[in-house]
Structure 1
Amino acid sequence: MEDRKKDHIHMAFKASVDKMLVDNRFMYEPLLAAHPNQDLAPFQFLGKTMKNPFWISSMTGGTQNAACINSKLAKVANEFGLGMGLGSCRVLLDSDDHWNDFKVRSIIGNQYPFFSNLGIAQVENLVEKGEVEKIDLLNKQLDTDGTIIHINPFQEAFQPEGDRIKHPPIETIQKLLEETKYPVIVKEVGQGMGYESLKALLKLNVAAIEFGAFGGTNFTKLEQMRRENPHSLSENFAHIGHTAHDMVLMVNQITEETETQCKQIIISGGIKSILDGFYLHKISKIPSVIGMASLFLQYSLKDYEHLKNMVENMAEAWLLAENYLRVRSI
């Protein structure tokens, strides 16, 4: 105790916080709860039971480290009851060399949501050729619950080896839904979606929408950086997009104004802290979980104990927020 008191004396002045930095999203209620002594209650999402509201967003596939990364992510998903989306499985459509990079259902367990991932350009090609059964076969062989379709027209346009998207993605998604036997999630890759795109998707029978909102990893910027001769006239395309906060408000408005089939969202893109995710989760009018891809990737590159400790801290912070914070009226 004496050491602690010495720390308090030495650190007191350094620990002051500028009153201008107060987080006005919440009312702090310190009198109304004890410290949490149990985990969150399990809840239903995507037809499975999750234990914590964190989604391991799609990140990597077909690379040398993919098997190691995916195995660690699947293990932590199992231990903490999380959902998980694989990185792009495109390589599996062309070769049998990388199946072991993605086959981690036995690690994550059958009780938690687990989805494969393909780009809209690949899906468009398969729909045009009448080969949607290849997507179903992919899910069967990986034992995934369905497919995440990532929508990335800007990324493809700026990618030196990018594919051309020939049809509006909403039309391709509609055709896929008519033919596939598996649930479909639709996500963006770092710039989010506007009102009309969200409205069109919410009217379809997609299992969920993942935001991939502006503020996190931006794949348009990434592809611009990869170009040998980037042109300054096009660099501002990376600054276009919609934040996760804006998208939650748009989804709330759409679900109030019109009948929708999609009833769940994965809030991802620019979620820098547990309080960011907690706030957006609480103001969403439909069920949601929180995706923080960069954080999971960062810790999955370390040993498993670092990844486990990170998720453990996330879960503890979420419980503290549940017990002591109330969202202010918006």
Structure 2
Amino acid sequence: MSSERKDEHVRLAEQLRDERRPNGFDDVSFVHHSFNGLRLDDVDTSTEVVGARWAHPFYINAMTGGSAMTGRLNAGLATAAAAAGVAIASGSVSPALRDATLADTFTVIRDHAPDAFVFANVSAEMTVEQAQTAVDLLDANALQIHVNPAQELVMPEGDRDFRGWLDRIEQITAALDVPVVVKEVGFGLSRASILALIDRGVRTVDVSGTGGTNFIDIENQRRERSEYRYLAGWGQSSVDCLLDARLGGDPVDAQLLASGGVRTPLDVVRALALGASAVGVSGHFLHVLIDSGVDALTAELVAWTHQVRTILTLLGAASVADLAHTQVLVTGASREFSELRGIDVSSLARRS
């Protein structure tokens, strides 16, 4: 059943893929200046994530695993990640923790990307022992714990009891000897949620907002009556989450990663300029792999590395850190969200 569900998730993610969905990033633009004083080759696109230095500020985010077909996808994703020099996260390792015969659908990631920075991924339902097993299985550099109450509630066979999630996250974070990142699955981490995680010892979060793969839509398609279609727009974008975390009060004391609806290298730079240290991409890269193969995905990843450097040069940012000084214009629904939350986004337009 678990393997069939994983295959169905991939099929529905492709079937329901819609790059016209609002993702928040289109509300973000930059003030253009003509004299940037930089040379393209001198621009440094590296970034630090959970204490590790990455050459590139984007990564292949958590997607799949748990069946023969998704194991082949993980092998392709890892092969491309290794060739392009980007980090990669596995999908939830939970199926392999329940059925050891599924382990090789995840271990293929390390097999095909022996030198990559790899995140293992588990749900907030896992114990410390299970989380450690997931890390060991992938020889992972860090662990993602995904939180997905919206998905679980619509999933026909999903969890209905979310008591103890913060307790388990705290226990895993304290016990593991690798960094832990807590991420949403596409509905956004609110400021209050981030602060609750910080109180439990978490120091890095992936806000993972709306605009990309929509697990309410996916799980609703798996229901007999598809009765939850009205929840399709639930949640906040990553742009909203980043603004709320940085400007909605005192800046939160956590490293922020962003994902959800990231479609272009410009979206990556937009998120970095709003305070993310790195940006995860799932649906777009999976679609390229499924539609065109490993070589095409590798070429896409390499192209993104060049394009991110180009955009930084255009903005006069010699490094990712310099993006904190770019003048950002926030309009549309993201501005309306900010106004309702009491966030002064006009200050971003006056940075120097």
TM above 0.5, yes or no, is yes
- Choose from 261, 271, 278 the match for 1:289: 278
Residue 208 of structure 2 aligns to a residue whose secondary structure is coil
* Counterparts of residues 72-91 of structure 1 (less than 5 Å): 72-91=76-95
Paired residue total: 293
Letter in 2 for 1:50: W
Contact 1:54/1:289 (CA < 8 Å) preserved in 2?
yes
* Counterparts of residues 1-330 of structure 1 (less than 5 Å): 25-33=29-37, 36-37=40-41, 40-103=44-107, 104-110=109-115, 112-120=116-124, 122-123=125-126, 126=127, 132-231=128-227, 234-253=228-247, 257=250, 260=253, 262=254, 264-284=255-275, 288-301=277-290, 302-325=292-315, 326-328=326-328, 329-330=348-349
- Residue 322 of structure 1: how far off its partner (Å): 0.6
Contact 2:258/2:278 (CA < 8 Å) preserved in 1?
yes
Q: Considering Cα pairs closer than 8 Å and 6+ residues apart, tell me whether 1 or 2 has the greater RCO.
A: 2
| C-alpha separation in 2, matches of 1:319 and 1:190 | 27
Per-residue CA deviations over 1:116-175 (Å, capped at 9, x if unaligned) read 11122x32xx3xxxxx22321231132012321111112111111112234152233123
Residue 37 of structure 1 aligns to a residue whose secondary structure is helix
The 3 A distance-change label for structure 1 pair 265 and 179 is: same
Larger radius of gyration: 1
1:6: which partner in 2? none
Contact 1:55/1:266 (CA < 8 Å) preserved in 2?
no
Per-residue CA deviations over 1:230-262 (Å, capped at 9, x if unaligned) read 22xx433332211111111112136x62672x3
- Residue 314 of structure 1: how far off its partner (Å): 1.1
Residue 230 of structure 1 aligns to a residue whose secondary structure is coil
Residue 145 of structure 2 aligns to a residue whose secondary structure is strand
Task: Report the more deviating stretch, 200-209 or 151-160.
Answer: 200-209
Over the matched positions of the two proteins, sequence identity in percent amounts to: 26
What is the TM-score with the length of structure 1 in the denominator?
A: 0.80
| C-alpha separation in 2, matches of 1:245 and 1:252 | 11
Residue 307 of structure 2 aligns to a residue whose secondary structure is helix
- Residue 177 of structure 1: how far off its partner (Å): 2.4
Residue 209 of structure 2 aligns to a residue whose secondary structure is coil
| C-alpha separation in 2, matches of 1:229 and 1:294 | 26
- Residue 176 of structure 1: how far off its partner (Å): 2.5
What is the TM-score with the length of structure 2 in the denominator?
A: 0.76
Contact 1:51/1:80 (CA < 8 Å) preserved in 2?
no
Per-residue CA deviations over 1:209-228 (Å, capped at 9, x if unaligned) read 11220111110121111101
- Residue 186 of structure 1: how far off its partner (Å): 0.9
Contact 1:243/1:269 (CA < 8 Å) preserved in 2?
yes
| C-alpha separation in 1, matches of 2:156 and 2:106 | 26
Contact 2:259/2:280 (CA < 8 Å) preserved in 1?
yes
Contact 2:119/2:143 (CA < 8 Å) preserved in 1?
yes
Contact 2:246/2:252 (CA < 8 Å) preserved in 1?
no
Contact 1:203/1:259 (CA < 8 Å) preserved in 2?
no
Q: CA RMSD in A?
A: 2.4
Q: Unaligned regions of 5+ residues in structure 2, if any?
A: 1-25, 316-325, 329-347
Letter in 2 for 1:118: V
